[in-house]
Amino acid sequence: MVELTELRKLILGVVEKNSRIDVHELSVLLGATEIEVANELAEMEKKKVICGYHTLINWENTSDERVNAMIEVQVTPQRGEGFDRIAERIYNFSEVNAVYLMSGGYDFLILLEEKTMRAVSHFVSEKLSTIEAVRGTATHFVLKKYKDHGTVLTENKTDERMVITP
């Protein structure tokens, strides 16, 4: 476990919102030297505190059609291995974007992005449901994303009607 110093917390806070910021800009912003910032970033990458740098894309603003699904999964944990082995089988499917162990009425939440609802259905029926430990699934389709990873994706619409008073 990596100790989060104040500098590391500040670095993480900035790169979580803007992974494209360069080391020079980050050092100026945080009042540290470029070498300090570069070393801290390298250490956090090495220790898997920083696991990757991603771009958030609002696919609704493109001509590319995407279907996002959230799949609740109930499983029977395996003796001696718990949930980890099942989670590994699930996250190794290329279609899967995320797998979370959950508390409550189901065990895993899977986030999936596919081209069609049929592709999601195929994944659930042909791949996920065939895993021996899986007892049940419930699939929810995302109709619209308003905010994702802390970023608002919709534009505020302004009322452009003229006010008429008698």
Q: What is the pLDDT of residue 159?
A: 65
Is-contact 23 37, C-beta < 8 A?
yes
Q: What is the pLDDT of residue 24?
A: 95
Q: How many Cβ atoms sit within 10 Å of the Cβ of residue 60? A: 12
Q: What is the pLDDT of residue 55?
A: 81
Q: What is the pLDDT of residue 158?
A: 65
Q: Which helix (H) or strand (E) holds 73?
A: strand 67-75
Averaged over successive runs of 10 residues, the pLDDT of the chain (166 residues) comes to 90 91 94 95 94 82 89 92 93 96 97 94 96 96 89 75 74
Among left, alpha and beta (phi > 0; psi -120 to 50; other), residue 80 is: left
pTM of the model: 0.77
